Amino acid sequence: MNLPWQNQRILVTGGAGFIGSALVWELNRRGCESIVVTDLLGTSEKWRNLVPLRFEDYLEAEDLLPRLQNGALGKFDTVLHLGACSATTERDATYLARNNFEFTKDLATWSLATGARFVYASSAATYGDGSAGMSDTSDDLQRLRPLNMYGYSKQLFDLYAQRQGWLKHLVGLKYFNVFGPNEDHKRDMRSVVHKSVAQVKESGIIQLFKSHRPDYADGEQKRDFLYVKDAVAITLHLAETQRAHGLYNAGSGEAHTWNELARAIFAAFGREPRIEYIEMPEALRGKYQYFTQADIGKLRATGFTQCLTPLTEAVRDYVQNHLLLDRRLGEN
């Protein structure tokens, strides 16, 4: 068994970002403040996610590996590696290879050498169009065909970790469509919930992409939507469960249509749905996932028994208690 969280020293990469800052928030709630946060703040507003949170130190990501390797930062019990470029539309493959693959290799090498528990963000984007299945129980990772370079950068590390035998010791989470507070800075990568709230306030209409497949009606494309508060609960459960190792799907286990999501957003406003279907950009059509649904049986088998937040309830909490109040996690 791991030490209780309040007795651990934790490194969170990407700790000012979406899931990373939510992890720091939940660790604070569990009594842990001995946390070192690293990120690339740049010119975005994600620094605001850190303001309500409690942690020991902050440093920019480019300074992390040198300071770990020379011992300046000391030891950590657990490394939660959420730092990565998460833009599915990023076309600079060299940048993604260095930032998402090489950096993760170096950090995992250091963590395993020092005995730190290493938990990292993979992605459901590794599954591509889903034709090879979305099971986290198969060892045949080579069968997967990501649709974009972001997904492939995550796949590269999954494959590398498997070849090195690391998947017997560390945990990788294949996050599905995560949404919730603290994603404001993500620009085009913000969830449809975040984007749609602005649309409803401005025009009273939510725009969704038309379908370009005859087997899916407009707005009936399906995704597995996971509330960030549930994503954090899953992540920390796997981090503290020593017998858990390898790759795990992190999703709700239930697919919902974009139309259902839109109706949940309107319900949070107390309004009748008004949905408009728009053309999908040409650049996305060949890379678009029409159906994702996590099989979370492997996760449940580790003893994760928590009930996940129903979509309508999660959307209502996000809209009413966070977006409409411009309230981040940890703010009263």
How confident is the model over 275-292, as a mean pLDDT? 91
Report the distance separating Cα 144 and Cα 132, nearest Å.
Answer: 6
Mean pLDDT of 5-11: 96
Please give the pLDDT value at position 1.
46
Asked if 18 and 190 touch (Cβ cutoff 8 Å), the reply is: no
Residue 2 has pLDDT above 70, yes or no: no
Q: What is the DSSP string of 116-179?
A: -EEEEE--GGGGTTSTT---SS-S-GGG---SSHHHHHHHHHHHHHHHHTGGGT-EEEEE-EEE
Domain that holds residue 56: 5-177+225-253+291-308
Q: In the predicted model, is pLDDT for residue 330 greater than 90?
A: yes
Residue 281 within any structural domain of the chain? no
Q: What is the DSSP string of 234-286?
A: HHHHHHH-TT--EEEEES-S--EEHHHHHHHHHHHHT----EEEEPPPHHHHT
Percent of the chain with pLDDT over 90: 90
Task: List the structure tokens of 14.
Answer: 């990407």
Catalytic residue among 120, 127, 150, 318: 150
Q: Catalytic: which of 58, 105, 160, 186?
A: 186
Q: What is the mean pLDDT of residues 272-299?
A: 93
186 is annotated as an active-site residue: yes
User: In this structure, is residue 31 part of a structural domain?
Assistant: yes
**What is the percentage of the chain residues whose pLDDT exceeds 70?**
99
- Tell me which DSSP letter residue 85 carries: -
Average the pLDDT over 273-290 and give the result: 91
* 219 domain-assigned: no
> 137: Cβ–Cβ under 8 A, 6 or more apart, which residues?
295, 297, 298
Beta bridge partners of 275: 206
The reply to whether the predicted model has a pTM over 0.85 is: yes
The tally of domains found in the chain comes to 1
pLDDT tens readout for residues 120-155: 999 999 999 888 889 999 999 999 999 899 999 999
The reply to whether 16 falls in a domain is: yes
At 50, list the tokens.
């850190």
Which residues, at least 6 apart from 147, have a Cβ–Cβ distance to it below 8 Å? 125, 128, 129, 286, 287, 288, 289
Identify whether the C-beta of residue 190 lies closer than 8 Å to the C-beta of residue 198. Answer: no
Mean pLDDT of 192-203: 96
Mean pLDDT rounded to a whole number for the chain: 95
Asked, for residue 321, whether it belongs to a domain, the answer is no
| Poorest-pLDDT segment among 148-152, 243-247, 309-313, 318-322 | 148-152
User: Is 64 inside any structural domain?
Assistant: yes
Give the domain CATH number at 29.
3.40.50.720
**DSSP reduced 3-state for 223:** strand
Asked whether residue 242 is domain-assigned, the answer is yes
Q: Which pLDDT score is estimated for 287?
A: 81
Residue 269 lies in a domain: no
pLDDT above 80 (res 3): no
